[in-house]
Chain A
Amino acid sequence: MIVEIGHFALALALGVAVVQALVPLWGVSRQDTALASVGPAAAITCFLLVAVSFAALVSAYVRSDFSVETVVANSHSTQPLIYKFTSVWGNHEGSMLLWVLILTLFGALVALARNSLPMRLRAGTLAAQGVVTVAFLAFVLLTSNPFARLDPPPADGQDLNPILQDLGLAIHPPLLYVGYVGFSITYAFAVAALIDGRIDAVWARAVRPWTLIAWVFLTLGIAMGSYWAYYELGWGGWWFWDPVENASLMPWLAGTALIHSTVVMEKRDALKVWTILLAILTFSLSLLGTFIVRSGVLTSVHSFASDPGRGLFILGILVFFVGGSLALFAWRAPLLRQGGLFAPVSRESALVINNLFIATACATVFIGTLYPLVLEMLTGDKISVGPPFFNATFVPVLVPLLLLLPVGQTLAWKRGDLLGAGQRVLAAFILGILAALALIAFSRGGPVLAPLGVGLGVFLVASAVFDIGERVAGRASGVQAMFSRAVGLPRSAWGTAFAHAGVGLSVIGIAAAAWSTETIGVLKVGESMSSGRYTITLDSIAPRSGPNFRAEVARFKLAAGDRELGILEASKRVYTARAMPTTEAGIRTDGLSQAYVALGDPQPDGGIAVRFYDKPLILLVWLGAVVMAFGGGLSLTDRRFRLAAPRRAQPRAIVQPAE
């Protein structure tokens, strides 16, 4: 019964979404306020209905209702409760329902947001969001019904793919989806602005918080996914340039560019056309990502569902929304007036350069990901585009951007002083150079580029710290004055500093990977092996059983020189229902570094194959992303987003004091 209620609520939501898509626009065109204000009510109702539907599905999984097809295919009665719960989105149908849930949640949030959006903009935005909702609800109902029944029900389920039975599944997809889907709001805002034919600083200010929310979650989602792959897949890699990873990286890059271009638009009323295009492209890339993952067109380690029928449906959605919005853009964008002028050397120009480089990086990933597919369709030739290609093209595009970042960050709006900016970043630059030189001297004969990478990271972190430090210290003296100035600095200034420092931290972590070491060998009980700074001694191997798996657990004594670091456990599991093996790496965090042990096969002579890594500063890779996201969150709490957007009749009020 509960399952049918869920199915029914979903169908009802589709009806409400159709209302949300059509009525507000109709109201706006007829100048009928009552009709135009149907949007918010419809958006909230739609969300509540999808929430009921999602709750029904969760209940079916938690109760192990094996009369439901997807529950049978992805769940097992012996699973711990948390994995029964996360199994809901560990499959195609459920994850699409989660997608739609988040989509409607964002619609409801826009409806509830208290800032005074112009009526036409709000109506247009909710209508555009409604169209997206209609498309995806139809997709779920027609091709991916999670509520389909099975008769007769089997005695037990087939269990979830063991790789997915991990806390990572509880965190990674929801974060990632909030990021992906959050950009639907920026898309809807862009479409609404194009329909309305008007776009100004009010628009930019209304869009910015949504972009930031989506970006923060996408950043965390990607970082979490990367860490999950690192500890679960068992060879210590954390980024594979896999099509599915690229699918999440592309909207992240476009979203990063968008955050920067909306700043220019908000402060200086410039870059309007580009910002609108970027808003459309960012969500288009999210849709492309969904298509890549859901259709399995570029098969990869991540896609756990592939079905050509669904693929074609999503391809249809993709073509409709990307093509439709780009056509609208081509038609309406020439009407948008270009705003404020700025000198070639200015904060605006720096942000334009930022956008150019990020857009190029994004295009590089896009072309690299889709080129093999297109080439094969056109000529039948099969080529592979893998990590070596991306390392050779993506990195050279990104490095100049990162080198310029600290300079751009200190330039003034409208007309900047390049020499002054250069002087301001000089101290940080020298610090970076010193760090690189010290490392080169220290690791003589080691990797060549890595010290430069670390130097770049140090430069980025130091310049962010110095920039904030300079503003806090200022010309005034005294701790009190500095403290009040630190509090008085706009939160967005702190956010910028944190985000840019986070980039630096990640760069250091990525560069330090060059010093990681790997040892492969066979260990018997009592034998030792070392890798880099760490040594392990195999203490024991013993069987152990979990709720739905059997495991062989190897216990190691870990030491760094004379320093005892305790016991490290690595195991191999076999999940009974699917008879599928997984490796659970043993990881010990030591400061910012990690020792990492993965088990291989038992050997005929009684030993066990072991892969043992020393991963120096590896945690910085993800810590940097978390700091970036924290910076984004700080920006989100900036005073100007909590106040009502100024009305258009007072153009002077929207000019912010230069930061």
Chain B
Amino acid sequence: MSWMRRLLALLLLGLVWAGPSRAVQPDEVLPNAALEHRAREISAGLRCLVCQNQSIDDSDAPLARDLRILVRERLTAGDNDAQVRDFVVARYGDFVLLRPPVNVRTLLLWAAPFLILVAGLIYLWRRTRQQAALASAVPLSDEERRRLEALMQEERAE
């Protein structure tokens, strides 16, 4: 039952309670407003690895603070946004990205909404055409109408 073990591992991983968020501290804020804005945008997309579904921007865990400071250091050093993200991913893997990268493993994830919508639209379009064909079907002949009437009478009598 290896998946059970993984499930357990996942459980344990999540047990670190993050508590109320204080997140970005005043001493972290960069003096350059434009850089700070970029830092916030990047941080909001990076997962706090010891928390439960929080970005490092939202979390007050020490590790999240370290990462926030790291992001700001890279930005100050002149990295562009993608370079900063790559730097963090190189250390922590794709798991750290809250927006999963599009690759073979996540193709289905990203394509699914679109595929479902298109499949649904195609199905509806075909059904509409079938219905249109039905609606324009040949009307009942007099003989058929009489038989139908008789059947309905039977049904009512029951």
Contact = CB atoms under 8 A, between A and B. Distances in A.
Interface centre among B15, B55, B134 (most CB of A within 10 A): B55
A234 B21 contact: yes
B45 A388 contact: yes
A447 interface: no
B11 interface: yes
Interface stretch (A49-57, A150-158, A356-364): A356-364
A386 B113 contact: no
Interface centre among B4, B8, B22, B120 (most CB of A within 10 A): B22
Given A242-B52, A357-B117, A387-B55, 6 more contacts: A308-B11, A343-B135, A356-B124, A367-B109, A367-B113, A371-B108
A48 interface: no
A306 B11 CA distance: 8
B54 interface: yes
B76 interface: no
B95 A393 contact: no
Contact of B25 (A360, A367, A383, A601): A601
B106 interface: yes
A377 B3 contact: yes
Given A233-B20, A601-B22, A383 B112 contact: no
Interface stretch (A201-209, A296-304, A453-461, A549-557): A296-304
B105 A381 contact: yes
Contact of A600 (B13, B25, B97, B116): B25
A601 B27 CA distance: 11
A520 B96 contact: no
Contacts of B29: 520-521
A624 interface: no
A32 interface: no
Interface centre among A343, A357, A600 (most CB of B within 10 A): A600
A396 B117 CA distance: 11
A381 B101 CA distance: 13
A368 to B, nearest CB: 7
B134 to A, nearest CB: 7
A218 B108 CA distance: 30
Given A235-B58, A367-B109, A583 B20 contact: yes
Nearest to A368: B109
A156 B3 CA distance: 40
Given A383-B95, A386-B53, A609-B26, A296 B109 contact: no
Contacts of A242: 52-53
B121 to A, nearest CB: 7
Interface string A572-608: 0000000011110000000000000010110100000
A522 B134 CA distance: 73
B14 interface: yes
B93 interface: yes
Contacts of A296: 11, 14
B99 A392 contact: yes
Interface of A: 163, 232-235, 237, 240, 242-243, 296-301, 306, 308, 311, 341-344, 349, 352-353, 356-357, 359-361, 363-364, 367-368, 371, 373, 375-377, 379-389, 392-394, 396-397, 520-522, 580-583, 598, 600-601, 603, 609, 611, 649
B18 interface: yes
Nearest to A243: B53
Contacts of B18: 301
Contact of A299 (B20, B52, B97, B98): B52
Contact of B117 (A243, A371, A397): A397
A344 B132 contact: yes
A601 B24 CA distance: 11
Contacts of B105: 375, 379, 381, 383
A630 B94 CA distance: 44
B91 interface: no
Contact of A308 (B7, B98, B134): B7
Contacts of B26: 520-522, 600, 603, 609
22 contacts: A233-B21, A235-B23, A240-B58, A296-B14, A299-B13, A299-B15, A299-B52, A301-B54, A343-B135, A356-B121, A357-B117, A364-B113, A367-B108, A367-B112, A371-B106, A371-B108, A375-B105, A382-B94, A383-B95, A388-B44, A520-B25, A583-B22
A387 B46 CA distance: 11
B120 A301 contact: no
Interface in B129-154: 131-132, 134-135
B120 A308 contact: no
A344 B126 CA distance: 11
A271 to B, nearest CB: 11
A352 B20 contact: no
Contacts of B94: 381-384
A388 B98 contact: yes
Contact of B55 (A299, A361, A386): A386
B10 interface: yes
Interface centre among B53, B95, B98, B99 (most CB of A within 10 A): B53
A158 to B, nearest CB: 15
Nearest to A237: B58
A389 B13 contact: no
Nearest to A367: B112
A646 to B, nearest CB: 16
